Amino acid sequence: MIVVVKDSATKDQLASFTAWIEGRGFKTNLSQGDNETIVGIIGDTTQIDPFLLESMDIVERVQRVSEPFKKANRKFHPEDTVVDCGHGVLLGGGHFQVMAGPCSVEGANLIQIARAVHASGATILRGGAYKPRTSPYSYQGMGEKGLDLLLEASAELDMPVVTEVMDPRDVQLFVDKKIDIMQIGARNAQNFSLLKEVGKTQTPVLLKRGLAESVDELLMAAEYIMSEGNANVILCERGIRTFETRTRNTFDVNAIPVLHQLTHLPVIGDPSHATGYTRYVRPIAYAATAAGADGLEIEVHNKPSEAWSDGAQALTPDQFSDAMKRIGLIRAAVTAEVE
């Protein structure tokens, strides 16, 4: 249930109103935007009489929210969330950012790739140090040493890093090392203990859509993080499993505007895992940008044929540079004021 509060309400009135609600055993979520102040009421709101609320002086109107996701719901928080990714990089609410780098951190080539993507306009460096591989016999990542290489590159280039955390027991290490953004990968998209653990931090979380996860399930996964107190969630459409076998996954471009309607959280697109082949990555990056994504995550490798993982979908630095120029043009076209 949401309560829209009148502009004339004072801070004291608002505080006693939320105390009154909380005194009845509910949680509240306050959203103070430029145009409206909204109090979200979380709990079994069938126990609340909306007419009683509407009769209160400070209440403008009351609306029931039927969706099970509350904190992620745009009705609770009409304005876009802007996530502060560190190093002065904001994402969401009109701030478009591109995350780029290798699938896996492999060693000394990381800094080379990082310099190249940074020079082309990428604002966030990606790279996996802990890799969720379908086979236990595939390369599993460099672990902590990989995090350190990312942090060295981050310091040199003054750019935030995003890297995947797979195990709740590693979350504290990521926090201690001041990793800017923790990625939850598609294979862990509904690992609720991991979601709750990252929810207890204030580190931004890049939450990828699960392999066969509906939009509503993705939003409930975000709700797990937010219900623990971390509101810094970025959603990522990275393709879903369908009957199509010509591509690694099927990029659900619909999900971008659908998510923007349902949630205030930023939404980015990952054309690399969505397609699985270098030749399709650029067209799908453009489609995601045109559909209103708040950013992209793209895999780039200096020698894709020698990459330790996902070489088949990596762009070379030159291909990435070309893509960035076109992404800029598309972004300008979709955000331009037209008569």
* Sole binder of ligand PEP in the list 92, 101, 128, 266 (CB under 6 A): 128
Verify binding: residue 248, ligand PEP, rule CB under 6 A.
no
Q: Of the candidates 12, 138, 2, which has an alpha carbon nearest to the alpha carbon of residue 59?
A: 2
Shortest separation between residue 308's beta carbon and ligand PEP, angstroms: 11
208 binds, among Mn ion, ligand PEP, none (CB under 5 to 8 A by kind): ligand PEP
Shortest separation between residue 246's beta carbon and Mn ion, angstroms: 19
Shortest separation between residue 276's beta carbon and Mn ion, angstroms: 10
Which 305-324 positions form the footprint of Mn ion (CB under 5 A)? 310
Q: Which is nearer to ligand PEP, 56 or 139 (CB)?
A: 139
* Sole binder of Mn ion in the list 103, 142, 162, 268 (CB under 5 A): 103
Shortest separation between residue 148's beta carbon and Mn ion, angstroms: 20
Binding string, 178-197, against ligand PEP, x = CB under 6 A? Answer: -------xxx----------
31: left (phi over 0), alpha (psi -120 to 50) or beta: beta
Choose the binding region for Mn ion from 98-106, 132-140, 207-215, 228-236 (rule: CB under 5 A): 98-106
Q: Which is nearer to ligand PEP, 3 or 265 (CB)?
A: 265
Residues 6+ apart with CB under 8 A from 210: 186, 187, 189, 190, 217, 218, 221
Inter-helix orientation angle 215-227/192-199, to 10°: 40
Q: Which is nearer to Mn ion, 116 or 307 (CB)?
A: 307
Q: Residue 57 CB: number of other CB atoms within 10 A?
A: 9
Query: Which two three-digit tokens encode residue 155?
Result: 């310091």
Q: Which is nearer to Mn ion, 180 or 310 (CB)?
A: 310
Q: Of the candidates 94, 75, 90, 93, which has an alpha carbon nearest to the alpha carbon of residue 204?
A: 90
| Beta-strand pair 233-237/267-269 | parallel
Verify binding: residue 101, ligand PEP, rule CB under 6 A.
no
Q: How far is CA 117 from the centre of its chain?
A: 20
Verify binding: residue 238, ligand PEP, rule CB under 6 A.
yes
Q: Which is nearer to ligand PEP, 74 or 187 (CB)?
A: 187
Q: Residue 4 CB: number of other CB atoms within 10 A?
A: 15
Distance, CA of 263 to CA of 34 (rounded, Å):
18
Distance, CA of 252 to CA of 239 (rounded, Å):
6
Q: Of the candidates 276, 55, 219, which has an alpha carbon nearest to the alpha carbon of residue 207?
A: 219
Q: Which is nearer to Mn ion, 21 or 150 (CB)?
A: 150
* Sole binder of ligand PEP in the list 77, 260, 273, 282 (CB under 6 A): 273
Helix, strand or coil, per DSSP, at residue 30: strand
Residue sitting closest to ligand PEP (CB): 185
* Sole binder of ligand PEP in the list 70, 208, 260, 301 (CB under 6 A): 208
Shortest separation between residue 248's beta carbon and ligand PEP, angstroms: 9
CA distances from 252 to 212, 258, 275 (A): 11, 10, 11
Q: Of the candidates 334, 285, 338, which has an alpha carbon nearest to the alpha carbon of residue 121?
A: 285
Verify binding: residue 301, ligand PEP, rule CB under 6 A.
no
List of residues contacting ligand PEP (CB under 6 A): 103, 128, 132, 185-187, 208, 238, 270, 273
Residues that bind Mn ion (CB under 5 A): 103, 310
